Structure 1
Amino acid sequence: MKAKWTVLLLLPALLLSACGKESTETSNSSAGEKAGTVQAAPKDTLSKLREQGYATVGFANENPYAFKTAEGELTGEAVEIAKVVLDRLGIHEIRGELTEFSSLIAGLQANRFDLITAGMFINPDRCKAVLFADPEYSIGEGLAVKEGNPLKLNSYKSIASTSEAKVAVMAGAIEIGYLQASGVTEKQMVIVPDQDAAISALQSGRADAITMTGPALQSRLDGAADSKLERVMNFEQPVVDGKSVRGYGATAFRLEDTSFRDAFNAELDKMKASGELLEILKKFGFTEQELPQEMTSAELCAG
Structure 2
Amino acid sequence: MKIVGRSAAGWMVLVGLLLATGCDRGRQESASFSTTLERVRSQGKIRLGYANEAPYAYYDTAAGKLTGEAPEIARAVLGEMGVTEVEGVLTEFGALIPGLKAGRFDIIAAGMYITPARCREIAFSNPTYGLGEAFLVKAGNPLGLHSYEEAAAHPTARLGVVAGAVERRYAQATGVPESRIAVLPDAPSAVAAVQAGRVDAYAGTSLTIQNLLSKARDPGIERAEPFRDPIIDGKTVIGYGAFGLRKEDTALLNEFNAHLERFIGSPRHLAVVAPFGFTEADLPGEITAEALCRP
Q: Pick the TM interval, shorter chain.
A: 0.7 to 0.9
TM-fit CA distance, 1:70: 2.4
Matched, 1:241 2:233: yes
Q: Secondary structure at the match of 1:283?
A: helix
1:126 aligns with 2:118: yes
Q: Is the 8 A contact 2:130 2:282 kept in 1?
A: yes
Partner of 2:54: 63
Counterpart residue type for residue 46 of structure 1? L
Q: CA RMSD in A?
A: 1.4
Tell me how far apart the structure 2 counterparts of residues 253 and 79 of structure 1 sit (CA, whole Å): 14
CA distance in 2 between partners of 1:297 and 1:110 (Å): 22
- CA separation in 1, counterparts of 2:264 and 2:51? 25
What secondary structure is seen at the aligned counterpart in 1 of 2:264?
helix
Assess if the C-alpha contact under 8 Å between 2:33 and 2:39 holds in 1: no
Partner Cα separation in structure 2 for residue 73 and residue 163 of structure 1:
45
Distance in 1 separating the partners of 2:155 and 2:272: 42
> Which structure would you say has the larger Rg?
1
Q: 2: distance between equivalents of 1:174 and 1:297? A: 16
Q: Residue 41 of structure 2 aligns to a residue in which SS?
A: helix
Distance 1:138 1:273 in 2: 12
8 A contact 2:48–2:88 mirrored in 1: yes
For the Cα contact (< 8 Å) 2:265–2:283, is it kept in 1? no
Q: Post-superposition shift, 1:87?
A: 1.1
Structure 2: unaligned runs, 5 residues or longer: 1-30
1:253 to 245, 251, 257: 245
Which of 41, 45, 52 in structure 1 is aligned with 2:36? 45
Contact 2:132 2:229 (C-alpha < 8 Å) held by counterparts? yes
Whole-angstrom distance in 2 between the partners of 1:185 and 1:158: 12
* Structure 1: unaligned runs, 5 residues or longer: 1-39
Q: What is the CA–CA distance in structure 2 between the aligned matches of 1:273 and 1:229, rounded to whole Å?
A: 34
For the residues of structure 2 that align with 1:175 and 1:60, how far apart are their CA atoms?
Answer: 16
The aligned runs of 1:42-191 (5 Å cut-off) are 42-71=33-62, 72-191=64-183
* CA distance, structure 1, for counterparts of residue 165 and residue 85 of structure 2: 28
Identity of aligned residues (%): 46
User: Alpha-carbon deviation of 1:272?
Assistant: 2.4
SS at match of 2:135: strand
SS of alignment partner, residue 48 of structure 1: helix
Whether the 8 Å CA contact 2:152–2:177 is kept in 1: the answer is: yes
- Tell me the equivalent position of 2:184: 192
Whether the 8 Å CA contact 1:86–1:264 is kept in 2: the answer is yes
Cα gap change, 1:53 to 1:281, in 2 (>3 Å):
same
SS at match of 1:79: helix
Q: Taking structure 1 as the reference length, what is the TM-score of the superposition?
A: 0.84
**Residue from 201, 205, 213 that aligns with 2:193:** 201
- By how many angstroms is 1:114 displaced? 0.7
Following TM superposition, by how much is the alpha carbon of 1:126 offset from its aligned partner in structure 2, in angstroms?
Answer: 1.0
Aligned mates of 1:134, 1:194 — CA distance in 2:
25
Q: Matches of 1:139 and 1:111 in 2, distance apart?
A: 29
The whole-number CA distance in structure 2 between the counterparts of 1:201 and 1:149 is 15
The alpha-carbon deviation at position 143 of structure 1 amounts to 0.7
* Rounded Cα–Cα distance in structure 2 between residues aligned with 1:230 and 1:114: 37
Query: Which residue of 1 is the match for residue 3 of structure 2?
Result: none
Matched residues in 2 for 1:59 and 1:239: separation? 29
Q: CA deviation at 1:113?
A: 0.7
Aligned residues: 264
How far off is 1:41 after superposition? 8.5
Q: Deviations over 1:124-179 (max 9, x none)?
A: 11111111110000011111111111111111111111122111110111000100
In 2: Cα distance, 1:275 partner to 1:256 partner: 32
Which TM-score applies when normalising by structure 2?
0.86
Secondary structure of the 2:276 match is coil
Alpha-carbon distance in 2 for matches of 1:274, 1:161: 43
